[in-house]
Chain A
Amino acid sequence: MIMLKVTDLKVNYGGIEALKGISFDVRQGQIVTLIGANGAGKSTTLRAISGLVKPSDGSINFMGRDITAFNSQKIVAEGVAMVPEGRRVFANLTVKENLKIGAYLRKDKDEIEEGIKDIYRRFPRLKEREWQLAGTLSGGEQQMLAVGRAMMAKPKLLMMDEPSLGLAPLVVKDIFSIIRDLKSEGITILLIEQNANAALRCADFGFVMETGRITMTGSGQELLVNEAVKNAYLGSN
């Protein structure tokens, strides 16, 4: 079943066309990745889906509803959560407060407490740091917190913007195993990565973006062995 359907999406920043009409689908239960170089429009795509920028044209359909004109609150309420680029945890709030902010739109108090416990089971390190200010966590821990915070919204679709950015290789491995775990629990994931290799390895489906357009599509495996992708994004290894 198609969960998210983006059709001919265009976004302008001032006079600059950041997205020149892209279309793609995300199927329920899959990991879908957008890869591409800097400035290809990957982050803009996520921002448009989560309502942080208004598209100038095209439509975004989530679970059969047109959410193109929704603001970010409504979109979060529909079940689309985002792990923003560069983690962006609330540095002066404690780990626990960060998680509670993730559940901001939820009203079920008891279940929120349950949700926090669930996050702690998944990331025991966060439990240890429960009362620490998020700004004092390491990069990897902050990324865990950013994922946990997004999970607190009980999303159907989790969008992650460069989760491996600026993290040590071992930590990057952890992050990708977390992404696989989330998938096995039935969460659909839209992943943006510059680390194309790792992203394609765990993705069911991938889209290659170049200067505001989607230039290639295919399953993760297909793209991994594709010569053009290899040359442009994977390096010759």
Chain B
Amino acid sequence: MKKSTKNLINIGLLILMFVVLYFLEQHFGRRSMLITVLKKGAIYALIAVSMNLLNGFTGLFSLGQAGFMLVGAYTYAVLTIPMAKRMAVYQYYEGGIINFTVPAIVGILAAGLLAALLAALIGLPVLRLKSDYLAIATLGFAEIIRAIIQWDTLGPITNGSNLLKTYPTFKSVIPVFAAATICIAVIVFLINSTYGRAFKAIRDDEIAAEAMGINLFHHKQMAFVISSFFAGIGGALLAMYQGSLQANAFKSSMTYEILLIVVIGGMGSISGSVMASFLFIACSEWWLRFLDTEMYLFGGTFKVPLMRSGFRMVVFSVVIMIVVLFFRKGIMGERELWDLFTPRRKNKEGVKQ
């Protein structure tokens, strides 16, 4: 297939996706469970893909994602709360010290940029570490960021440990999908470029990559900064989705959730991460919810054992263990969805030999 036809098909599929979304939203309503799950799923898809860029494609085992999301979310919220509402939001800090407001789109971009800037600074010392040490250091930085944001002295900017709210949000599912699609498309483009190939080379063999003339630190730094940029944007979108924001929600368990999505989808597969995000969100927010409520069968005479608040997480953990034991490469491994439809060019003679 020619590249131009491929592009046309992709654009066609994207348009189709948005048309379907539009009709789903019209039919089920903006507050329905399906639409809610789609919104959150799209945001998690973006964040999971950004983490996959680092962990799956560049081989840098980083656990700082929640920290960069937090920076993005706060940047967005702090910058976009309307002036008229600031007094009420920052009630303990006399309205705060930021006396300007930017449009939502500028806020989202600023969220990405600030997260990227922070990543560039953190990357300087941290990216010299490898594997577990890198994971521990990034995890630590994420926790430090959370503590700093809740620090009372910074209250006039971050509102301390109080809620941030009344910043602009989205009502429809379309803008979320549009933002996530654009960001993921940029990441796909990057991964298929020369840089992406260099990332994968570093993942496979650092020494050989260096011997080929690839600057290890430069490329690691680049992957880290880009990944954090999109994590920041994902954080801003998540803040919009939630409607209010508190630093406490961005604990390391959030990073683990995203890591889980990446692993279930397949380290090194963009489409795997996207599918796993929607599956994960649908399961945790919707399909497995019934496990958390007590259930009576046979006209209320038989109480189903184990089903009570929290049981959902138990089932979830078991599912994860099964995935790790039997589907170690996740749903997609390193393949992409489109690989399944376009079989690799086979050389006939080559197969015979």
Contact = CB atoms under 8 A, between A and B. Distances in A.
A104 B344 contact: no
A92 interface: yes
Interface string A74-107: 0111000010100011111100010011101100
Contact of B197 (A71, A76, A101, A127): A101
A93 B350 contact: no
B292 interface: no
Main SS of the interface on chain A? loop
Interface string B190-202: 0000100110110
Interface in B147-199: 194, 197-198
Contacts of B353: 128
Contacts of B208: 84, 88-90
Contacts of B197: 93, 97, 100-101, 104
B214 A128 contact: no
B201 A82 contact: no
A16 B83 CA distance: 66
Nearest to B206: A88
Contact of A73 (B201, B214, B350): B214
A174 to B, nearest CB: 16
Given A73-B213, A104-B213, A84 B207 contact: yes
Contacts of A84: 207-208, 211
Interface in B301-353: 334, 344-347, 349-350, 353
Contacts of A128: 347, 349-350, 353
Interface residues of A, number: 29
A21 to B, nearest CB: 24
B215 A73 contact: yes
B349 A90 contact: no
A76 B208 CA distance: 12
Contacts of B297: none
Given A88-B207, A92-B268, A104-B201, 4 more contacts: A73-B215, A104-B194, A131-B345, A131-B346
Interface of B: 194, 197-198, 200-201, 203-205, 207-215, 268, 334, 344-347, 349-350, 353
26 contacts: A52-B211, A72-B210, A75-B213, A76-B212, A84-B208, A88-B208, A88-B211, A89-B208, A90-B208, A90-B209, A92-B200, A93-B201, A101-B197, A101-B198, A101-B212, A104-B197, A104-B198, A104-B214, A105-B213, A127-B350, A128-B349, A128-B350, A128-B353, A129-B350, A130-B347, A131-B344
Interface of A: 50, 52, 71-73, 75-77, 82, 84, 88-93, 97, 100-102, 104-105, 127-131, 149, 153
